[in-house]
Amino acid sequence: MRLFFEEEIKKSRFITYLQHTEGLEDARAFWAKIKQEHPNARHHCWAAVAGKPTDSLQLGFSDDGEPAGTAGKPMLSALQGSQLGEISAVVVRYYGGILLGTGGLVRAYGNGVQQALKLIESEI
């Protein structure tokens, strides 16, 4: 099952997808599928806790062209804060023409994952 959360921030559209994934290879396949579904998006950032929540060897993330540390890292922090394992997030950004700045990007990507994680609780 795949969950998603969508929001618009300063004319940029952010769509966050969450999915159960078993390992980093599965997480990258999930990212590739989302990228294929959104070929016109500017960025396809991802983060994964692909194993047990405590297994640091099964962590991964990518900023996919956003400034270093502004997308994948806050997404990973949100996933780690959930204490869930075998979960991946992909955030698709359709750029709206307004720069958000470093802090704005960190908030947008991290908050998108946090909001999507809340949907898990409502699905259980």
- pLDDT, tens digit, 9 for 90 and up, residues 74-116: 999 999 999 999 999 999 999 999 999 999 999 999 999 999 9
Tokens read off for 4: 């998603």
Q: Which CATH number fits domain 2-123: 3.20.20.120, 1.10.1660.10, 2.40.50.220, 3.30.230.30?
A: 3.30.230.30
- pLDDT, tens digit, 9 for 90 and up, residues 66-77: 999 999 999 999
Describe the strand order of the beta sheet including 87-94 as a list of residue ranges.
Answer: 2-9, 12-20, 87-94, 43-49, 59-62
CB-CB neighbours of 82 under 10 Å: 18
pTM of the model: 0.94
Q: Which residues contact 59 (CB under 8 A, 6 or more apart)?
A: 48, 49, 50, 76, 80
- pLDDT, tens digit, 9 for 90 and up, residues 23-35: 999 999 999 999 9
